[in-house]
Chain A
Amino acid sequence: MEYLFEIIRGPYAGITVIAAAVLVSLTAGFSGNINVKLSMAALNAASYIGCFYLYVRNFILYGPYSGFLTDLGIAGIILSGTVVFCGLNILFFLSLNRISGKNFVRAVILLSFSVVSVLLLVMADNAVLVVTSVIISVLSIFNLLASLETGNMHSREYLGKFGVRSALPAALLLFGFSVLAGSGGIKNISVYASTGDRGSPPVILSTCIFACALYLYFFLYPFQGIFLRFIRRTGFTSSAVLWFLYIPAGMVLVIKFSPFFDLFAGKVNLYGFLIIAILGSLNLMGAGLGAIKAASTRRILSMFLLFQLGTVLLMRSSVFMDTGPALPPAVYDVALLVVTLAAFLPLSLLASIMGRKNGDDSIFGAQGLIRRHPYPGICFCFLLIWWLAADVYIFMSKGLLQGKALSAPYVYWIILSAVFITAVLLMAANVIRIITLFFRKPLKADEVKRDGFPRVFYAYLTLFMLLAAFSLVLVAIGELGMGEDHIYIWGKTFYIFGNGN
């Protein structure tokens, strides 16, 4: 009975709801009946919402949860909400594009299980649970991609390569934990934020191995080849899974391993700074330049995402500039992740719909979008500009120009500013290129069709537009912003990585 009570009031309550939905979906069989498919989709969507509701309810009633295996505070609630939101969106894309497919129910089951794995990763604190949830997340995402790509001959080769390559970070993580054991055993990850042996050589060595594992996980430059080629050959739903489930799971991992990465804070280290800054700038420039000549919308969006990850990496280099108490870069990781999702989710849906209309995913299919469909066109222009502006705001005002970094030597300033400004200009050129394309005359001017987009698309787009516009207004009037380790929303301060709430 106590065990049951522990599940109900603990963080597993939400996951149990999704697991129950998966079980019911399994018993529905691999049905081809459209009504069964719709009800399974609705059931799983309701389970995601119920899961998040239980997380928030248990947090309000019982406060943060900390156990032997798990640790769930407000940061975990925010990340869990983000993961559930991503899952809902992918389920929506899946229902829009693949409801008539034979594998629909299986894909929904695999998607729900992937969401469960990533949610477990969010709350995991013990090394055993972290390792198993990372590997099972990769496994379930791979299974989901395979189920979505059954009919696609072009992507099979690259899906296999993607699977082989994405298993390498798992092996590196396992090896990293084996080296960490040499520091006197493996404690829970959150304990490493304050424990005395943070500076011991096995911890430093394992941190370097974890960093390499994460770098390979994200397929950052110069390892981007297989990821880009796979994206180019997949369907839009599979691309959405990679962008909005695989990448956020990686960001969860980055935030989870922050206690290790932050151990370099507190001392100025030019070599460490140079290594991370060079890698960050390689990604920023590579993505910025690569997107200029790209014609495929999926490729362009992937480059934009790699640019975003390069921003995260460049912000992490500021840890080596610190001359005072440690900064929590993880706060900015969360902010950048939310901004990425808010801008790219509607963009990917546009790419999906245009791809289905035109038969390919060339960006030139969107030429003249504003002339044919003014409302979506203007919304997308706004979202693209908002995304870039939000990046600059987060990086410059909060990552670069905040208090402690101002006392770092000039060489750091020159390098960071030069790199970021150049990268932003490159990305601005890309954004201007896309916006200019929207304003041009359509390719087939005599065949302008007024069939438009589905109504649900307009509602979906409007929701994100309102969120973006609202955040802009709040920042402008000073009611939304970020301090060093907290955010303030409408007069209230929320400490994300502390117990100040």
Chain B
Amino acid sequence: MSVESQKILEALQYISFAGIILPGLAALVIPDFRKKAICLFILFVFTTILSFVFYAGVIFLITALVFILVFILLYLLARALSGPEGPVDTWVRKRGMALKIMGTFTGAAVCAGLGYLVYDLISGYIAGVEAVQEIYIAGLEDIAGSMFSVYDIVVIFLIASSFIAFVGFTVFREGGRREGEAD
């Protein structure tokens, strides 16, 4: 690989990670539900870019197509829950900013402490791991070959569960419309 393409890849890595971490943090802070969902979508886009940087873009795209459906539903729900009065942030309204900031700092302190423990545990091991230098690009045909020969039971199970979930969806739609029986 040429030096220029290596530098491009490295720059892409930094941009992707920034694009993942910053929207992740923003999604916690922004009160509006719709804007939170948009931050999630930006995070997802940069995760897809990162998967290309790791030479596995095609693989991640398979799941990305399904994630789009989940995201659409999440966005519709965020819009339904937002309402005309604007963002519904009950925490702030009920308890005030001071408590929220205190809670955030406590949570951040706990996470920082845990993070330090994890770093202490694993830094020596990670430093000693020798990364493989040759690049292996996983092709869709290799993945599909393995999946449908060795993991065929899992694929059948997943397809069956999707079908059964559809049975559940018919119940959800009925339940939203009428009163029925209960114990």
Instruction: Decide if A and B touch, CB cutoff 8 A.
Output: yes
Residues in A lying within 8 Å of B, measured CB to CB? 12, 19, 22, 26, 30, 68-69, 97-98, 100-103, 106, 109-110, 113, 117, 120, 128-129, 132-133, 136, 139-140, 142-143, 146-147, 149-153, 156, 182, 200-202, 204-205, 234-238, 352, 355-356
CA distance A356 to B122 in the complex (A): 56
Give min CB distance, A353 to chain B, whole Å: 11
Across-interface contacts of B182 in A (CB, < 8 A)? 149, 151-152, 235
Once A117-B161, A204-B121 are accepted as A-B contacts, the answer to whether A100 and B181 lie under 8 Å apart by CB is: yes
Mark contacts of B97-129 with chain A using CB atoms, 8 A cut-off: 1 yes-contact digit, 0 otherwise.
000000000000000000000100110111001
Q: Which residues of B contact A204 (CB under 8 A)?
A: 121
30 A-B residue pairings within 8 Å (CB atoms): A12-B153, A22-B164, A98-B181, A98-B183, A101-B181, A103-B180, A106-B170, A106-B171, A109-B167, A110-B164, A113-B164, A120-B157, A128-B154, A129-B153, A129-B154, A132-B157, A139-B165, A143-B165, A143-B171, A146-B175, A149-B182, A150-B171, A150-B174, A151-B180, A156-B175, A200-B125, A234-B183, A235-B183, A236-B183, A237-B183
At the interface, yes or no: B179 with Cβ under 8 Å from chain A? yes
- Tell me, rounded to whole Å, the shortest Cβ–Cβ distance linking A275 to chain B: 12
Cβ–Cβ < 8 Å partners of B164 in chain A? 22, 109-110, 113, 140, 143
Minimum CB–CB distance for A339 against chain B, Å: 26
A17 to B64, CA, bound (A): 35
B168 CB–A CB distance under 8 Å: yes
Does any Cβ of A come within 8 Å of B55's Cβ? no
User: What separation, in Å, do the CA atoms of A100 and B182 have in the docked complex?
Assistant: 11
Q: Is B151 interfacial (CB-CB < 8 Å)?
A: yes
In whole Å, how far is B103's beta carbon from the nearest beta carbon of chain A?
Answer: 15
Contacts of A139 in B (CB 8 A): 161, 165
> Among A19, A97, A106, which residue has the most Cβ atoms of chain B within 10 A?
A106
Are B168 and A143 in touch, CB under 8 angstroms? yes
Q: How many residues of B contact A (CB 8 A)?
A: 29
**Interface majority SS on B: helix, strand, loop or mixed?**
helix
Query: Cβ of B150 < 8 Å from any Cβ of A?
Result: yes
Q: Type the 1/0 row for B143-166, where 1 means its CB is closer than 8 Å to any CB of A.
A: 000000011011001101100110
The distance in angstroms between the C-alpha atoms of A150 and B179, with both chains bound, is 7
Q: Is the CB of B180 within 8 A of A150?
A: yes
B136: interface (CB < 8 Å): no
Cα-based distance from A129 to B147 in the complex (angstroms): 12
Give, as a whole number of angstroms, the nearest-CB distance from A162 to chain B: 14
Q: How many A-B residue pairs have CB under 8 A?
A: 101
Closest CB of chain A to B62's CB: distance in Å?
15
Bound: A17/B38 CA distance, A: 46
Closest chain B residue to A236 by CB distance? B183
With both chains docked as a complex, state the minimum distance between the C-beta of A49 and any C-beta of chain B, in angstroms. 22
CB distance from B69 to the nearest CB of A (A): 15
Bound CA–CA A143/B167 (angstroms)? 8
Q: Mark B125-144, 1 if CB is under 8 A from A, else 0.
A: 11001000000000000000
CA–CA, A200 and B164, complex, Å:
40
* Chain B residues with CB under 8 A of A200: 125
Cβ of B171 and Cβ of A69 under 8 Å apart? no
Q: With A and B bound together, what is the CA distance between A271 and B129 in angstroms?
A: 29
Contact B171 A147 (CB under 8 A): yes
Residues on A with beta carbons closer than 8 Å to the beta carbon of B161 = 113, 117, 136, 139-140
* Smallest CB separation, A205 vs chain B (Å): 6
Residues in B with CB closer than 8 Å to A156 are: 175
Task: Report B-chain residues with C-beta under 8 Å of the C-beta of A140.
Answer: 161, 164
Contacts of B175 in A (CB 8 A): 146, 149-151, 156
B19-43 contacts to A (CB < 8 Å): none
Contact status B180-A238, CB under 8 Å: no
Residue pair A202, B171 in contact (C-beta under 8 Å): no
Which chain A residues border B126 with CB–CB below 8 Å? 182
Alpha-carbon gap, A355 to B154, bound state (A)? 41
A276 to B174 CA separation, bound complex (whole angstroms)? 44
Q: Quick check: is B172 within 8 A (CB to CB) of the other chain?
A: yes
- B183→A355 contact, CB < 8 A: yes
Is B180 touching A97 in the complex (CB atoms < 8 A)?
no
> A205 to B121, Cβ gap below 8 A?
yes
> In the complex the two chains form, what is the Cα distance from A389 to B158 in whole Å?
43
- With contact pairs A103-B180, A128-B151 given, residues A205 and B122 touching in the complex (Cβ less than 8 Å): yes
Listed from nearest, the 5 A-B pairs whose CB atoms lie closest are: A235-B183, A151-B180, A143-B168, A150-B175, A101-B181
